[in-house]
Structure 1
């Protein structure tokens, strides 16, 4: 993984999560802004998939368990999709809160993925 890109992802996911939480607790239903913030997060995660495929070939292999890393990454890619589907089906303020929880959860998952990639020794 690329450290600066992971940091960028964590900042964006936490910002999107906080934005959605604030909007949800303020009583706002899902909108283009809240759903779009998670769409941006999804785009960053898809780029992370490409980086995870190319990085070992470029001499940056993970030091931790590769299977654990990929399980985290696949789950992280699926979370925004599930959250947006929920928001589009339910369209209540609580689905906006769920989008916020998804965003904050992804921040934690990305931090853990960085630890698996760089810190652990297999």
Structure 2
């Protein structure tokens, strides 16, 4: 798996978490700009999914197996959009907290994806 893409996705997710966390601190719900940020982070995860599919189709193997690898990739892809949808139903500061939490979960999933792929050793 491409380490640069994983790191970029993790950093983008953490920036989104900080941004939405700041909005929650200021007692603000998610705004249109936050949704644009969520779209950018989701696009990065989508690119990661495509890269993962191409690498496995090209003969490379995740260290911990394809099923676990693709399960994490799909879960990572759903993480931020699910939090964004939940934030639409909660138009208070807690909607921003939900997105911030979803973005932190995505960053953690990126670390786990790196481990599943082989942690740089496989």
TM-score by length of 2: 0.90
Relative contact order, higher structure (CA 8 A, sep 6+): 1
Question: How do 1:54-65 residues align onto structure 2 when only pairs under 5 Å count?
Answer: 54-65=54-65
Q: Deviation at 1:31?
A: 0.3
Residues paired across the two proteins, number:
121
Q: Which residue of 2 aligns with 1:106?
A: 106
Could you list the runs of 5+ residues in structure 2 that have no partner in the other structure?
none
Distance in 1 (alpha carbons) for counterparts of 2:23 and 2:93: 8
CA 1:77/1:26 → structure 2, altered by over 3 Å: closer, same or farther? Answer: same
Q: Which residue of 2 aligns with 1:16?
A: 16
Q: Deviation at 1:56?
A: 2.2
Q: Which residue of 1 aligns with 2:30?
A: 30
Could you list the runs of 5+ residues in structure 1 that have no partner in the other structure?
none
CA 1:5/1:118 → structure 2, altered by over 3 Å: closer, same or farther? Answer: same
Task: Give the superposed CA RMSD.
Answer: 1.7
1:83 aligns with 2:63: no
CA contact (8 A) 1:64 1:120 kept: no
Distance in 2 (alpha carbons) for counterparts of 1:120 and 1:14: 22
CA contact (8 A) 2:114 2:120 kept: no
Q: Which residue of 2 aligns with 1:92?
A: 92
User: SS at 1:119's partner residue?
Assistant: coil
Q: Deviation at 1:30?
A: 1.0
TM-score by length of 1: 0.90
